[in-house]
Amino acid sequence: MPVEPTILTNTALATLRTCPRKYRNRYVLRLARKRRATPLRFGSAHHKGLELQVKMPGQSTETILAGVMAAYDTCPQWADPVEWTVERETLRQLLAGHFWRYSQDNLQFLAVELSFEIALVDPSTGRESRHFRLAGKIDAIVALMPDGRVAVLEYKTAGEDIGPSSDYWPRLRCDGQISLYVLAARALGHDAAAVIYDVTRKPTIRLRQNETPEAYSQRLCADIDARPDYYYQRREVPRLEDELAEFQLELWQQAQSLQESMRCDRWYRNVSKMTCGNCEFSELCFNNCRIDPNCPPSGFEFLPDAHPELSPSGESQ
């Protein structure tokens, strides 16, 4: 009986490069923490707001924000009520600021939330892999007016400097996600040669002592109004044909390494401060826990789908 190919997304590939053991836990065993980390929750909600703005043309900012803020109506038992409210107000102000900042942009949307599944190809032979396929979800395909050049639009939230002279932008010249999405857009019939990165920086200002979340919200609104370039940057990152060819070689190399790990069920750990510091599985590794595939460790669960972000309601990867 034929075996279904393994799906590789940008996030899965990044996880594999970070630590093969982490990849096994997350994408082979489908293990995940029960509580979503704040950056992931916040980023998903921010992304939803930008998506609704495109899908609901003509609707007021208040209407769109209401569709996003509903997820924050009830504070979970595990969350601090004040922190939960501050997160909600931060999201509200960043979205409202984004809508204002780009209300007169030059983008014509051709497609939104475009899912793809394409072949992984051996660059040396042109043959498709029998073991792996590439998948993901593109935030949007846009035409840059007035010349009509086609590009992939990618939304991001960041906790670091995104100014023109920061290190954020040079890193994107080597980011494989750009190459993957350009190749996927072309496979879907869009002649894309670049990606527009639309980045929102999360605020560094914090709730002051004895300050209410509502007062914090107004202070953040004023700060966004005073220095929008600090919070919002949108830049074009091109992809040359030789860069795409090199990316395909790298993809094939990573897939071959993954196939070997899957074949012998050996997954080495990449242990360092950089890789373990934010890893949800670090305590399992540090305590040398053996994971029972029939019983997840305390605080974890087995996901029914290794790639929930590819579902119609999932955020893009």
Section 128-152 average pLDDT = 95
Task: Quick: pLDDT tens for 168-181.
Answer: 999 988 899 999 99
Average pLDDT, the chain: 92
Section 103-127 average pLDDT = 94
Helix 38-55 to helix 81-101 angle (10° resolution) is 40
3-state secondary structure of 30: coil
Contact of 100 with 135, CB cutoff 8 Å: no
Model confidence at 127: pLDDT above 70: yes
Which pLDDT score is estimated for 39? Answer: 65
CA distance 92 to 217: 8
Question: Residue 269 — very low, low, confident or very high, per pLDDT cuts 50/70/90?
Answer: very high
Dihedral sign for Cα 244, 250, 253, 259, please: negative
Task: Quick: pLDDT tens for 194-222.
Answer: 899 999 999 999 999 999 999 999 999 99
Six token digits for residue 107:
């983008």
3-state secondary structure of 150: strand
CA distance 301 to 209: 37
Section 248-276 average pLDDT = 96
Which pLDDT score is estimated for 316? Answer: 46
Model confidence at 317: pLDDT above 50: no
Section 277-302 average pLDDT = 92
Model confidence at 97: pLDDT above 80: yes
Q: What is the CA radius of gyration of the chain?
A: 21
Q: Which of 159, 72, 145 is nearest to 109 (CA)?
A: 145
Least confident among 41-45, 56-60, 298-302, 311-315: 311-315
Contact of 246 with 202, CB cutoff 8 Å: no
C-alpha distance from residue 94 to each of 61, 90, 235, 274 (Å): 12, 6, 18, 29
3-state secondary structure of 110: strand
Section 115-125 average pLDDT = 95
Residues near 309 by beta carbon (within 8 Å), at least 6 away in sequence: 9, 11, 137, 315, 316, 317
Section 13-25 average pLDDT = 97
Domains of the chain in start order, with CATH, are 1-29+105-203+215-317 (3.90.320)
Which pLDDT score is estimated for 309? Answer: 85
Which pLDDT score is estimated for 43? Answer: 87
Q: pTM value?
A: 0.88
Phi, psi (5° rounding) for residue 60? -70, 160
Q: Which of 182, 170, 133, 160 is nearest to 3 (CA)?
A: 133
CA distance 204 to 211: 16
CA distance 136 to 249: 19
